[in-house]
Chain A
Amino acid sequence: MGSLHLVHIKLLAADLLSLTCRHTSPPSFVRCGRTVARVEIVGVVVSRDRRDKFLRFLVDDGTGCVPCVLWLNHQYLNANRSSGASVSDPTAEMALKMSEMVNLGGLLRVRGRIVLYRGAIQITVRDVVLEKNPNVEVLHWLQCVSMAKECYDPRPPSA
């Protein structure tokens, strides 16, 4: 129960970007002695860079800007599979549709894996949700504070 590596922890950008990085292979990240691998952030898109195989964007939650990358290369990954399986896999189309939700100024909830890219922390996006109620941002801040206080920051029993 002490492990947090399977859950998407709710973090503010400042806390995410200040995670301790262990230079394992692949790199792992630690917060207060607990390994974390997945994260959920909420913020406004302030930069967007669409490429053929991915979409890079920056999410600003007021405490910092988190680089995010949404991969759009599923069709290439499926290229080696049988044609029937490829045809029945909607992942690429849905990821493409998800990328269309990422627009400058939009309030997003982003989940994904924490990775290290060129020495900096970024999120490999699993999914994005376009939030239309601005109150979710406040709620996320409070949840981050509350979760950190009651769950993430206390030392694990084994420690």
Chain B
Amino acid sequence: MELPPERGAAPLRLTVADLLRIRRPTTGAASLSSSAASTLAVPPARKKPRHSATPNPAPSPRSTAPFAPISHRVLLAGTLSLPAAGSPLTCRSHCLSLSDPTSAAASVCCYLLDFDAAAVGREVEVLAWNYLPSVHHDGAGVLEVVDWRLAEGRAPGSGFLKTIPLDCAAGPDLATHGHVFGVVRSVSVVFSVPQAAQKSDADRGDNLVGFIAEMMCCACCQCLVTPLKTDEHHKFEVEKFVYFVDSASRWRPVLAQLVGRSISVSGLKKKKISIDKKGSYIMLVSTRKTMLAWCPFYPFDQTLDGSPGNCGGVYTGVVTGIYMQGMVVELDETVWLLIDDQQLAPSHSLRVGAVISVKNSRTISLKFAWTKIVLLGTCNKTSITINSFSLVDSKCYIKAQNKGLLGKFVDSFELHAKFWMLILISCFKQKFTKLFSEKEILGSKNAHGLVHTYSFKVLSSVGSKPQHDFFMKFCNHNCGSPCAGSNMEAFKLVIPFANFTCKAESFWILTMLKIWNGTEEMPEIDKNQGFHTFLCDGVSYTGTTKKIVSSSDMGSVLVGSIKRSSLPGTLQLVDATGCIDVIIPDLPPNVSLDGIYEINDYKVALEGPVAYLDLDDVADPLSCKAAFQQPAYQKRLHHLKIYVILFHLLKLSHIFPTNNTFQHQNMSGATLYAEAVIVPYDLKFTEQADSFRMSCTPSFSNSNVSMAKPCCIPCTLSFRTTNLCGSLVSINSYGPVGTILNDTVGGERDHISRILLEFKDGRLIKYQSLRIGGYYLLECPIESDLISLKGKVENIHSYDCKNKSMVGNEKSGICIHITDDNLMVRLCGYLSKYCYPVGLGPGATVTFHRVLLTLRRELFLTPLTYIEVCCISFAGLNKECVVTPPISDCFKDDSFNRVSPCLLFLNQKHLAENRAIQFQCRVVTIHMLILDNSLNDLQPSDSINRRETINIKVRLAGFIVDDGSSLCCCWADDVRAELLLRLQEVAVLDGPVSLKFSKDGSDVNLQQTAGCFLERMLKKHKRIIARNCGIPPDISCRDLEFSSVLNKVLSGLEEKLLKSIILNACWKGTLNVIASVLNPDTLDGFNLELPDLHPARNMPNLWVSQAFQVDPLEEARRMFGNLENN
């Protein structure tokens, strides 16, 4: 690169040929003074990167990097002329051409600010400019001229009219009578139409290239005389259309800049233009001798009609976003510009940051279901000009489109529907980009895609605009179509689920702020409990609350594929951006998991702790910008539970007793019933796309169904195992919707779900209003008492045993501690042992259905509670956790007394009375251990892998335990012994240090679990007996003796595993134990030879009936209470 000239020297002169050698977006100026720089908007020179790999790196042509300034002064000079006939159509509508005076071959498309028609055909000096290389397919770039001047000053003479040359050899044909003088009102883009083969007196060729200018002309006598010489007042009242065709179409960039200015066009002929065979038009058409002149001194006519609904408005604003390949432009972050035709704007200069003027646009205020916007609608009379170029963005957004069926479908609608369609396309692309191919989403030239299929359903009631040829559309233009009066509420946002989650969080944050500021009403229960905390056992906790948001408030529909959740009655709607839990109280068993589903009518439930949340600075996820921009939202409030609730649509089929039966009777106290049919959720709405099924509580939203509520009857719904309280709300359905429903029900009669409704007393009047065959919605209460609860069981223990006699021995009071990652709750109540599922214990992930949430926010088991064990994980267990005692132990009706404060030696009285006592203790050593093989024909490895639990049996174990006051020997068998031995914890350990074994001096690291190895060991030995010959409470491996019932010698590895199990048990934490004095006869059945060692011989011997984890908080509270009372 040559050295910059010295300060004060003349600027370096650049030719167009020099310009064309630049390969990156560049900006240059003839003056770099600060004042000039500010006016010319030249950014300061950027620092060079410190680590430049190459001296002249070639940037990516699609780079959005800002323009690189030339650090020294440059002056670009060239001849400005009309665009060449062969230039691209988009540039022919907007750009002029700048070429070197000496070599016309070196030319570049250029777009001028402060356009002056006088410059056409003359040499200009460009004082400030931006250059965008490689805009066109042939690699040519575009020059944006920010500031310029004529090289030789203005041409002499100041005539009324100044001619704009076309470079035609022929002069004006003054003899022709085709002459118009008037104000340019609008200019079409350059377009190409096929001309009829015969009767065409246009120039030549198969296609006519040209544009139409709409002019308001003066019909006074003076104007009939050419050339005009005076600027007498004219009245521009006669509308005329001039068709600049063929070479005259090159005037289009000039005329676009002259909209609102007066021009004179001579050399026109009135001709009949035949378009294909569709029609013909008679209009003024340019000829080879047409001359164009403008009146620089005639006042600018600003009488454009900008009233709403008319396309005469002017809007100037900054481009703040360009989406959907340039079809949608956001201006000033408030106004949306829908560009109907890509040629309406100079595509290369329509960049983010540019200031543009939109003339002859139509301003429409649209109120969609979810948002309101101001839309600038364009039509074929609109012209978009650039007022200021963008230096922060160099990307060209507008791309040539190869329109398939979807594109044609979009084009067939009016502005409002078209804008919604573009949002829909953007949302569908976000939602299904990972689930379907783009072709499946958008369709192709021959096949409909998902967007088309969906939108067809919504837009079926919206009429498409009439299709006319270009001449008809331009010359008989009427933008006063009644789109503003259309029912826009039916146009809902098909929301990406990430946006949905973000919006739900925003609702929640707003609610929290209102609660904190005292402007939001708290639920009654919260009022009773204080502001945002509640008391539990005298301790203040942060409360939780719930907010329900209706789908009508969201203004959006949920569309996605579904998958079953682990929760019964729960589905998950899934798209590529996220998933939403959907609660359907009675999910039909035949629900299909194929296809895509839509939910129109729903409630969003938000549940979480009451907490101060700061204002979120996330942009509105329901805004059109968010729909186009595809922001990556992430869940921010992890404590907030968000799910969607669906309601039922019922069709009443029977009423018991019938209305005429009870009308005349005193029905006080009687129970009234009705039978209803749950309308199936599946509605196949299109025959063409079998894989695309739509479902909802049938989508009335886009029909004209009235949602009036003439009656609202409280009732109880009984369905399968579900009992729900709710209100029956009638729906007046008319017209074809009812027919569709009937057909659907009839078609799937096998899957009809019938339910029984029970009505409360005193509702007879409303009850009489029910009619058979009517459709009703069952609205369940939002503040339901029965909830589902899912979490990991932390611990289970007996609870409130004083009252357990209330249900005999069939039920026992238990307290279950359930936790998620953050919080723990207690679930108390009486549970039948027959309802106690296998696997319910610490570490298990369990769902409790229909548990009672009281107004005091306590959770209770109910007779309706159904417990589902989702998974049992031992690997994730806290090492201090033990598995739960079996149900048989949990519900033993042996009474016991809690030893206070766990002092065993003070409770000899209880023991003497053969009563069970509860105390906390730790195992210090093991007296004896007998392990049995409980495998049958199962392969150990299979069983351990399948069940993740160890399949051996502890026939008997004697533990020496220490409660801090004394030692005693606790005997236990089966799972109780497993708990004290912590066998399940050890069993799942994978390759613990205890299993490293060396036979020949090298370590062998076992790949199997300890439990698996133990199973194999017991399969081999059938029974293994371990005895401790040491003196309690110390434990040493040297004192442990092992024997096999088959008299086989245990290997070193086997001994090591057994020792590690025993050591592990002796080094663990505290457990709760319920035990009673050992009946001496109990051990006789084991036929054991017990080690008779002092001091174990003198210890109390107890039989363990239960063992479970200690809840430190609960124990501490109880102990504190005891200390206070004593």
Contact = CB atoms under 8 A, between A and B. Distances in A.
B236 interface: no
B699 interface: no
Interface stretch (A20-28, A55-63, A114-122, A138-146): A138-146
A14 interface: no
A8 interface: yes
B1060 interface: yes
Interface size grouping (class) on chain A: 35 or more
Given A88-B1052, A88-B1055, A88-B1056, A147 B1112 contact: no
Contacts of A158: none
A104 interface: no
Instruction: Name which of B905, B963, B966, B1067 has the most chain A CB atoms within 10 A of its CB.
Output: B1067
B880 interface: yes
Interface in A6-24: 6-10
B1059 interface: yes
Interface stretch (B560-568, B577-585, B684-692, B993-1001): B993-1001
Contacts of A1: 905, 966
Contact of B967 (A7, A84, A109, A129): A7
Given A89-B1059, A98-B1067, A142-B1116, A6 B993 contact: no
Nearest to A132: B878
B962 interface: yes
Nearest to B1042: A88
A127 B383 CA distance: 85
Contact of A146 (B922, B962, B1033, B1122): B1122
B1123 A146 contact: yes
Interface in B961-996: 962-967, 993-994, 996
B998 A127 contact: no
A143 B901 contact: yes
Contacts of A129: 880, 1067-1069
Nearest to A84: B1052
B1063 interface: yes
A89 B880 contact: no
A8 B965 CA distance: 8
Given A89-B1037, A138-B1112, A94 B1064 contact: yes
A38 B962 CA distance: 11
Interface in A74-121: 81, 84-85, 87-91, 93-94, 96-98, 109, 111
Contacts, number: 125
Given A87-B1052, A88-B1055, A139-B1112, A126 B901 contact: no
Given A127-B1067, A129-B1069, A147-B901, A90 B1059 contact: yes
A6 B1116 contact: no
Contacts of B638: none
A7 B1067 contact: no
A90 B1069 contact: no
Contacts of B1066: 127
Contacts of A96: 993
Given A38-B1033, A136-B1112, A93 B993 contact: yes
A146 B901 contact: yes
A131 B1069 contact: yes
Nearest to A87: B1052
B1119 A146 contact: yes
B358 to A, nearest CB: 65
B1023 to A, nearest CB: 20
Nearest to B995: A90
B137 interface: no
Nearest to A129: B1069
A73 to B, nearest CB: 14
Contact of A150 (B901, B966, B1052, B1095): B901
A138 B1113 CA distance: 8
A10 B902 CA distance: 12
Contact of A89 (B924, B1056, B1112): B1056
A99 to B, nearest CB: 12
A55 to B, nearest CB: 15
Interface string B833-861: 00000000000000000000000000000
Contacts of B924: 8
Contacts of B963: 7
Contacts of A98: 1067
Contacts of B1068: 127, 129
A8 B1056 contact: no
A126 B1067 contact: yes
Contacts of A127: 1066-1068
Contacts of A139: 1110, 1112-1113, 1115-1116, 1119
A132 B1123 contact: no
Contacts of B996: 93
Given A88-B1059, A143-B901, A6 B1064 contact: no
B906 interface: yes
A133 B1070 CA distance: 13
A151 interface: yes
B1052 A142 contact: no
A143 B1037 contact: no
Interface in B904-937: 905-906, 922, 924
A6 B1067 contact: no
B61 interface: no
A151 B1037 contact: no
Given A7-B967, A143-B964, A132 B993 contact: no
A130 to B, nearest CB: 8
B543 interface: no
B1120 interface: yes
Contact of B964 (A10, A89, A91): A10
Given A93-B993, A135-B1112, A135-B1116, A150 B906 contact: yes
B903 interface: yes
A98 to B, nearest CB: 7
B1032 interface: yes
A90 B1060 contact: yes
Contacts of B964: 7-10, 40, 143, 147, 151
B480 to A, nearest CB: 73
A48 B1068 CA distance: 21
Given A93-B993, A127-B1066, 17 more contacts: A88-B1055, A89-B1037, A89-B1038, A89-B1056, A90-B994, A93-B1060, A94-B1067, A98-B1067, A126-B1034, A129-B1067, A132-B878, A136-B1112, A138-B1112, A139-B1110, A143-B1119, A149-B1126, A151-B965
12 contacts: A6-B1032, A7-B1033, A88-B1056, A90-B1056, A91-B1059, A93-B993, A93-B994, A109-B1069, A135-B1112, A139-B1116, A143-B901, A146-B1119
**Closest 3 pairs (CB-CB, A-B):** A127-B1067, A135-B1112, A146-B901
